[in-house]
């Protein structure tokens, strides 16, 4: 029996250990999803602490700004890895304007790497009033707070 494939697999597993997420070292944003924060404060703290890029990676037509996590940052919400951070606050220069009609009120949230059913269960168990929306079924889910 040829052992080479097993050795290659073992080497890959050992070499990738450093790339696996360790939940105990992640920055948990759960407390902010009591939906009492202002988008400006929520986003500013993450930028200042170097968890997200200062410029949005995308601005939707409705002016919701999507911020990319900084390479190597490890954020979670309700135990799920953060894929992107969202925010918008009317009349706040921090947020870029989209090409369409801007939202009337403030909004902040995250896009998580998890299916919506799992996220919904944990959001409700926490007592959060955040809204849960499927972005890509079974892959990405948005958790949104509006004031």
**What would the DSSP string read from start to end of 47-102?**
HHTTSB-SS-SEE-TT--EEEPBPTT--EEETTEEEEEEEEE-TT-TTSPP-SSPP
For the cut 80, the answer to whether the pLDDT of residue 130 exceeds it is yes
3-class DSSP assignment, residue 28: strand
H or E stretch at 136: strand 131-136
Contact between 112 and 84 under an 8 Å Cβ cutoff? The reply is no
Instruction: Tell me which of 11 and 30 has the higher pLDDT.
Output: 30
Contact between 92 and 64 under an 8 Å Cβ cutoff? The reply is no
pLDDT (0 to 100) of residue 43: 98
For the cut 60, the answer to whether the pLDDT of residue 116 exceeds it is yes
pTM of the predicted structure, to 2 decimals: 0.82
Which tokens sit at 56?
């949005």
For the cut 60, the answer to whether the pLDDT of residue 82 exceeds it is yes
Q: How confident is the model at residue 8 (pLDDT cuts 50, 70, 90)?
A: very low
Which tokens sit at 16?
């990738």
pLDDT (0 to 100) of residue 26: 87
How many Å apart are CA 91 and CA 68, to the nearest integer? 22
For the cut 80, the answer to whether the pLDDT of residue 14 exceeds it is no
Total count of residues recorded for the chain: 147
Q: How confident is the model at residue 20 (pLDDT cuts 50, 70, 90)?
A: very low
pLDDT > 70: percent of the chain: 83
Contact between 73 and 83 under an 8 Å Cβ cutoff? The reply is no
Burial 93-122 (b: 16+ CB within 10 A, else e): eebeebeeebbeebbbbbbbbbbbebbbeb
């Amino acid at each position: 029996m040829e052992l080479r494939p097993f050795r290659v697999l073992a080497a890959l597993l050992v070499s990738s250990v450093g790339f696996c997420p360790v939940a105990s070292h992640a920055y948990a944003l759960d407390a902010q999803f009591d939906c009492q924060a202002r988008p400006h404060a929520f986003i500013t703290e993450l930028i200042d602490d170097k968890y997200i890029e200062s410029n949005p990676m995308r601005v939707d037509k409705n002016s919701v700004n999507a911020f990319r996590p900084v390479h190597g940052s490890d954020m979670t919400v309700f135990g799920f890895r953060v894929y992107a951070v969202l925010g918008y606050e009317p009349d706040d220069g921090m947020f870029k304007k989209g090409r369409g009609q801007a939202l009337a009120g403030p909004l902040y949230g995250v896009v998580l790497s998890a299916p919506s059913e799992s996220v919904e269960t944990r959001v409700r168990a926490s007592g959060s009033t955040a809204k849960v929306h499927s972005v890509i079924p079974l892959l990405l889910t948005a958790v949104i707070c509006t004031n």
